Amino acid sequence: MSYSHILFEVDAGGIALITVNRPEKLNALSGAVIADLHQAFERIAGERDIRAAILTGAGEKAFVAGADIQELAALSSLEAREFARCGQQVFRMLETSHKPSVAAVNGFALGGGLELAMACTVRFAAENARLGQPEVKLGIIPGYGGTQRLPRLVGRGRALEMLLAGDPVTAAEAWRIGLVNAVVPQAELLNYSRAWLGKALANAPAALGLVMEAVDVGLNAGIEEGLRFEATAFAVSAATDDGREGTRAFLEKRKPAFAGK
Protein backbone atom coordinates (compact mmCIF):
# COMPACT_ATOMS: atom_id res chain seq x y z
CA MET A 1 0.00 0.00 0.00
CA SER A 2 1.39 3.41 -0.97
CA TYR A 3 0.95 6.73 0.82
CA SER A 4 1.66 10.25 -0.35
CA HIS A 5 2.40 12.04 2.93
CA ILE A 6 3.07 9.42 5.60
CA LEU A 7 5.65 6.69 6.14
CA PHE A 8 4.41 3.31 7.37
CA GLU A 9 6.63 0.53 8.65
CA VAL A 10 6.04 -2.47 10.89
CA ASP A 11 8.75 -3.98 13.09
CA ALA A 12 9.26 -7.62 14.04
CA GLY A 13 7.18 -7.16 17.18
CA GLY A 14 4.11 -6.06 15.24
CA ILE A 15 4.38 -2.35 16.13
CA ALA A 16 3.51 -0.03 13.24
CA LEU A 17 5.40 3.26 13.07
CA ILE A 18 3.40 5.94 11.26
CA THR A 19 5.34 9.11 10.47
CA VAL A 20 3.57 12.18 9.11
CA ASN A 21 6.06 13.17 6.44
CA ARG A 22 5.71 16.85 5.49
CA PRO A 23 8.66 18.37 7.34
CA GLU A 24 8.73 21.39 5.01
CA LYS A 25 5.19 22.21 6.27
CA LEU A 26 5.91 21.14 9.87
CA ASN A 27 3.86 18.03 9.08
CA ALA A 28 0.62 19.99 8.76
CA LEU A 29 -2.56 18.00 8.23
CA SER A 30 -3.88 18.44 4.71
CA GLY A 31 -6.78 16.53 3.23
CA ALA A 32 -4.26 14.19 1.61
CA VAL A 33 -2.62 13.48 4.98
CA ILE A 34 -6.01 12.72 6.53
CA ALA A 35 -6.73 10.33 3.65
CA ASP A 36 -3.39 8.60 4.22
CA LEU A 37 -4.09 8.28 7.94
CA HIS A 38 -7.51 6.80 7.16
CA GLN A 39 -5.88 4.09 5.05
CA ALA A 40 -3.21 3.50 7.69
CA PHE A 41 -5.73 3.10 10.50
CA GLU A 42 -7.81 0.72 8.38
CA ARG A 43 -4.68 -1.33 7.77
CA ILE A 44 -3.87 -1.46 11.47
CA ALA A 45 -7.40 -2.61 12.26
CA GLY A 46 -7.45 -5.22 9.52
CA GLU A 47 -4.04 -6.86 9.80
CA ARG A 48 -3.77 -9.34 12.65
CA ASP A 49 0.04 -9.18 12.67
CA ILE A 50 -0.07 -5.45 13.50
CA ARG A 51 -0.56 -5.29 17.25
CA ALA A 52 -0.02 -1.60 18.08
CA ALA A 53 0.97 1.74 16.57
CA ILE A 54 3.27 4.69 17.21
CA LEU A 55 2.49 8.02 15.56
CA THR A 56 5.15 10.67 15.15
CA GLY A 57 6.28 13.45 12.81
CA ALA A 58 9.21 13.70 10.41
CA GLY A 59 12.13 15.84 11.50
CA GLU A 60 12.94 17.28 14.91
CA LYS A 61 10.71 20.37 14.95
CA ALA A 62 7.16 19.09 14.78
CA PHE A 63 4.90 16.17 15.55
CA VAL A 64 2.10 17.86 13.63
CA ALA A 65 1.94 21.66 13.76
CA GLY A 66 -1.76 21.86 12.90
CA ALA A 67 -4.03 21.86 9.87
CA ASP A 68 -2.88 23.13 6.50
CA ILE A 69 -4.07 26.73 6.88
CA GLN A 70 -3.72 27.53 3.17
CA GLU A 71 -6.05 24.66 2.36
CA LEU A 72 -8.43 25.47 5.22
CA ALA A 73 -8.74 29.15 4.27
CA ALA A 74 -10.20 28.25 0.87
CA LEU A 75 -13.12 26.21 2.26
CA SER A 76 -16.74 27.30 2.27
CA SER A 77 -18.78 26.79 5.44
CA LEU A 78 -20.24 23.50 4.18
CA GLU A 79 -16.84 22.32 2.97
CA ALA A 80 -15.27 23.21 6.33
CA ARG A 81 -17.93 21.19 8.15
CA GLU A 82 -17.22 18.18 5.94
CA PHE A 83 -13.47 18.71 6.45
CA ALA A 84 -13.99 18.63 10.22
CA ARG A 85 -16.31 15.61 10.18
CA CYS A 86 -13.89 13.66 7.99
CA GLY A 87 -10.99 14.31 10.36
CA GLN A 88 -13.13 13.52 13.39
CA GLN A 89 -14.14 10.17 11.93
CA VAL A 90 -10.55 9.23 11.06
CA PHE A 91 -9.28 10.17 14.53
CA ARG A 92 -12.17 8.29 16.12
CA MET A 93 -11.08 5.17 14.22
CA LEU A 94 -7.74 5.40 15.99
CA GLU A 95 -9.28 6.21 19.37
CA THR A 96 -11.69 3.26 19.30
CA SER A 97 -9.18 0.74 17.96
CA HIS A 98 -8.69 -2.37 20.07
CA LYS A 99 -4.95 -2.00 19.49
CA PRO A 100 -3.00 0.45 21.69
CA SER A 101 -1.41 3.51 20.13
CA VAL A 102 1.25 5.98 21.26
CA ALA A 103 1.66 9.58 20.16
CA ALA A 104 5.43 10.16 20.19
CA VAL A 105 5.27 13.96 20.31
CA ASN A 106 8.67 15.00 18.99
CA GLY A 107 8.05 18.76 18.66
CA PHE A 108 5.12 21.08 18.01
CA ALA A 109 1.71 19.44 18.47
CA LEU A 110 -0.67 22.28 17.72
CA GLY A 111 -4.29 22.38 16.61
CA GLY A 112 -5.01 19.25 14.64
CA GLY A 113 -1.68 17.84 15.76
CA LEU A 114 -2.69 17.90 19.41
CA GLU A 115 -6.10 16.55 18.43
CA LEU A 116 -4.39 13.62 16.69
CA ALA A 117 -2.19 13.02 19.73
CA MET A 118 -5.20 13.08 22.05
CA ALA A 119 -6.89 10.38 19.97
CA CYS A 120 -4.00 8.01 20.76
CA THR A 121 -4.12 5.70 23.77
CA VAL A 122 -1.22 7.50 25.49
CA ARG A 123 1.09 10.42 24.74
CA PHE A 124 4.85 10.63 25.36
CA ALA A 125 6.53 13.96 24.68
CA ALA A 126 10.08 15.00 23.91
CA GLU A 127 11.50 17.68 26.19
CA ASN A 128 11.31 20.26 23.40
CA ALA A 129 7.63 19.60 22.60
CA ARG A 130 5.02 22.35 22.70
CA LEU A 131 1.34 21.44 22.78
CA GLY A 132 -1.67 23.65 22.25
CA GLN A 133 -4.94 24.53 20.56
CA PRO A 134 -4.29 27.97 19.02
CA GLU A 135 -7.34 28.05 16.74
CA VAL A 136 -8.98 31.06 18.43
CA LYS A 137 -5.99 33.16 17.39
CA LEU A 138 -7.13 32.53 13.80
CA GLY A 139 -10.77 33.32 14.54
CA ILE A 140 -11.85 29.66 14.42
CA ILE A 141 -12.23 26.79 16.88
CA PRO A 142 -10.82 23.25 16.97
CA GLY A 143 -12.55 20.96 14.50
CA TYR A 144 -10.99 17.53 15.05
CA GLY A 145 -12.19 16.91 18.61
CA GLY A 146 -10.13 19.36 20.65
CA THR A 147 -13.09 20.81 22.55
CA GLN A 148 -14.17 17.29 23.54
CA ARG A 149 -10.98 15.37 24.28
CA LEU A 150 -8.98 18.11 26.01
CA PRO A 151 -11.49 18.55 28.90
CA ARG A 152 -11.63 14.78 29.32
CA LEU A 153 -7.87 14.64 29.72
CA VAL A 154 -7.08 17.74 31.79
CA GLY A 155 -10.43 18.90 33.19
CA ARG A 156 -12.78 21.70 32.15
CA GLY A 157 -10.87 24.58 33.70
CA ARG A 158 -7.44 23.67 32.32
CA ALA A 159 -8.94 22.90 28.92
CA LEU A 160 -10.74 26.24 28.69
CA GLU A 161 -7.57 28.02 29.79
CA MET A 162 -5.72 26.51 26.82
CA LEU A 163 -8.60 26.77 24.36
CA LEU A 164 -9.54 30.39 25.09
CA ALA A 165 -6.04 31.85 25.30
CA GLY A 166 -4.69 29.69 22.51
CA ASP A 167 -1.22 29.58 24.03
CA PRO A 168 0.82 26.35 23.87
CA VAL A 169 2.22 24.67 26.97
CA THR A 170 5.64 23.13 27.42
CA ALA A 171 6.13 19.39 27.65
CA ALA A 172 6.76 19.71 31.39
CA GLU A 173 3.51 21.61 31.90
CA ALA A 174 1.64 19.14 29.70
CA TRP A 175 2.87 16.34 31.96
CA ARG A 176 1.92 18.28 35.10
CA ILE A 177 -1.68 18.72 33.98
CA GLY A 178 -2.04 15.17 32.65
CA LEU A 179 -2.01 15.96 28.95
CA VAL A 180 1.01 13.72 28.33
CA ASN A 181 2.00 10.57 30.19
CA ALA A 182 5.76 11.11 30.24
CA VAL A 183 8.47 13.51 29.07
CA VAL A 184 11.75 12.06 27.77
CA PRO A 185 14.78 13.27 25.80
CA GLN A 186 13.97 13.44 22.09
CA ALA A 187 16.65 10.89 21.20
CA GLU A 188 14.97 8.35 23.49
CA LEU A 189 11.35 9.03 22.48
CA LEU A 190 10.75 6.20 20.03
CA ASN A 191 12.60 3.62 22.14
CA TYR A 192 10.60 4.71 25.19
CA SER A 193 7.38 4.37 23.20
CA ARG A 194 8.31 0.90 21.99
CA ALA A 195 9.30 -0.19 25.50
CA TRP A 196 5.93 0.88 26.92
CA LEU A 197 4.08 -0.88 24.13
CA GLY A 198 6.19 -3.96 24.80
CA LYS A 199 4.88 -4.04 28.37
CA ALA A 200 1.29 -3.65 27.20
CA LEU A 201 1.62 -6.22 24.42
CA ALA A 202 2.94 -8.82 26.85
CA ASN A 203 -0.65 -9.07 28.07
CA ALA A 204 -3.61 -10.79 26.44
CA PRO A 205 -4.74 -8.98 23.25
CA ALA A 206 -8.45 -9.44 23.92
CA ALA A 207 -8.10 -8.06 27.43
CA LEU A 208 -6.26 -4.99 26.12
CA GLY A 209 -9.01 -4.29 23.61
CA LEU A 210 -11.81 -4.79 26.11
CA VAL A 211 -10.14 -2.50 28.66
CA MET A 212 -9.85 0.32 26.11
CA GLU A 213 -13.42 -0.19 24.95
CA ALA A 214 -14.76 -0.21 28.51
CA VAL A 215 -13.00 3.06 29.30
CA ASP A 216 -14.37 4.62 26.11
CA VAL A 217 -17.93 3.46 26.81
CA GLY A 218 -17.85 4.73 30.38
CA LEU A 219 -16.44 8.14 29.47
CA ASN A 220 -19.04 8.67 26.76
CA ALA A 221 -22.14 6.99 28.17
CA GLY A 222 -21.68 7.50 31.92
CA ILE A 223 -20.78 5.28 34.84
CA GLU A 224 -23.95 3.16 34.93
CA GLU A 225 -23.65 2.14 31.28
CA GLY A 226 -19.91 1.79 31.75
CA LEU A 227 -20.36 -0.61 34.65
CA ARG A 228 -22.85 -2.70 32.67
CA PHE A 229 -20.41 -2.90 29.79
CA GLU A 230 -17.54 -3.72 32.14
CA ALA A 231 -19.44 -6.68 33.62
CA THR A 232 -20.17 -8.07 30.16
CA ALA A 233 -16.60 -7.47 28.99
CA PHE A 234 -15.27 -9.15 32.14
CA ALA A 235 -17.40 -12.21 31.37
CA VAL A 236 -16.12 -12.29 27.79
CA SER A 237 -12.48 -12.01 28.91
CA ALA A 238 -12.90 -14.71 31.56
CA ALA A 239 -14.21 -17.13 28.94
CA THR A 240 -11.32 -16.67 26.50
CA ASP A 241 -8.46 -19.14 26.25
CA ASP A 242 -6.10 -16.37 27.33
CA GLY A 243 -8.27 -15.59 30.35
CA ARG A 244 -8.12 -19.20 31.46
CA GLU A 245 -4.39 -19.36 30.74
CA GLY A 246 -3.71 -16.23 32.76
CA THR A 247 -5.55 -17.40 35.86
CA ARG A 248 -4.07 -20.89 35.56
CA ALA A 249 -0.56 -19.48 35.25
CA PHE A 250 -1.07 -17.33 38.34
CA LEU A 251 -2.16 -20.34 40.38
CA GLU A 252 0.74 -22.40 39.03
CA LYS A 253 3.21 -19.56 39.73
CA ARG A 254 4.48 -19.30 36.16
CA LYS A 255 4.48 -16.75 33.37
CA PRO A 256 1.36 -16.97 31.17
CA ALA A 257 1.70 -17.92 27.52
CA PHE A 258 -1.00 -15.87 25.82
CA ALA A 259 -2.04 -17.02 22.34
CA GLY A 260 -4.42 -14.23 21.39
CA LYS A 261 -7.49 -16.46 21.67
**Domain extents in the chain:** 6-201, 205-251
Catalytic residue positions?
Answer: 115, 135
pTM, rounded to two decimals: 0.94
For residues 60 and 128, give the distance between their C-alpha atoms in angstroms, rounded to a whole number: 9
- 197-234 confidence digits (pLDDT tens): 999 999 999 999 999 999 999 999 999 999 999 999 99
Q: What is the pLDDT of residues 12-24, one digit of tens each?
A: 999 999 999 999 9
6-201 placed in CATH 3.40.50.150: no
Give the alpha-carbon dihedral of 65, 71, 74, 76, to 10 degrees: -80
Cα dist. 168→29, 133, 135, 136, 173 in Å? 18, 7, 11, 12, 10
